[in-house]
Amino acid sequence: MGFASGKHALITGGGTGIGAAAARMLAAEGARLSLLGRRREPLDAIAAETRGTAIPCDLTDRAAMEAAFAAARAANGPFDYVILNAGIGDSAPFLRTPRATFDAIIATNLTAVFDGAQLASPDLLDGQDKRLIVIASVAGLQGGAYAAPYVASKHGVIGLVKSLALEFAKTGMTVNAICPSFVATPMVDDSATRISRVTKRSDDESRAALAALNAHGRLITAEEVAASILNLCHPLSGSINGASVAIDGGTSA
């Protein structure tokens, strides 16, 4: 059996992309999985593949999150690993960005992380080798034109991670952020579609333009990000705390 045998991992955004890849890797290591997200169909598919529990949930609704976390505990026991992966993005000139867009991005990318961390902490502070992992972005390490709300949300997430890591440094819980650049996920597909709409490029050309922004000239794979999640969950990673792990082919070097 793997190092995660008998451990309970909760993953938000667990039906697609990075969350689905992490679910597969943790299941292969023996973890029990609770998969949260808005859409039932992809959650059910990954849950069937990994023998996990699918729990549809609006992550911007604190009461809904409380109910979902309670359902996850009832199904699989106390949390050992909590991976807060769900996120949304948008791109537009700052002066044409509606306040509603800013609010929606902050609600999903930052406030839901705050709520998830609070709701998971009673379990994660009880015992050893507990992990809180937040999927941030290289956008949290640097500025970015035409994406001010997204960049602000990711800077906020990294600040939250660093603060929690210090506050709970002497407990059995570590708190870390993973900061990918452009990853081959549905979110990047959406970004490519927006670029195509504005520039009249094809979707393939728009994806290639995004890939070119990564220093090594290709999109990161979801599995590459999931491998770093797996590494942070390992018992030998207990001294990695408050880190912002860049996965970007050297973009932020």
Whether 171 is covered by a domain: the verdict is yes
Whether 14 is covered by a domain: the verdict is yes
Task: Give the whole-angstrom CA distance, residue 42 versus residue 48.
Answer: 10
> Which burial class, exposed, middle or buried, applies to 167 when counting CB atoms under 10 A from its CB (0-12, 13-18, 19+)?
exposed
Whether this model's pTM surpasses 0.85: yes
Task: Give the whole-angstrom CA distance, residue 35 versus residue 44.
Answer: 9
Mean pLDDT, the chain, as a whole number? 92
Active site residue 146: no
Whether 131 is covered by a domain: the verdict is yes
Range of the domain at 82: 8-180+220-244
Q: Count how many domains the chain has.
A: 1
Whether 193 is covered by a domain: the verdict is no
Residues in the chain: 253
Q: pLDDT tens digits, residue range 117-161?
A: 999 999 999 999 999 999 999 999 999 999 999 999 999 999 999
Q: Which CATH number belongs to the domain containing residue 136 in this structure? A: 3.40.50.720
Whether 250 is covered by a domain: the verdict is no
Q: Looking at 150, 157, 228, 243, which residue is catalytic?
A: 150
Q: pLDDT tens digits, residue range 57-114?
A: 999 999 999 999 999 999 999 999 999 999 998 889 999 999 999 999 999 999 999 9
Instruction: Map residue 93 onto helix, strand or coil.
Output: coil
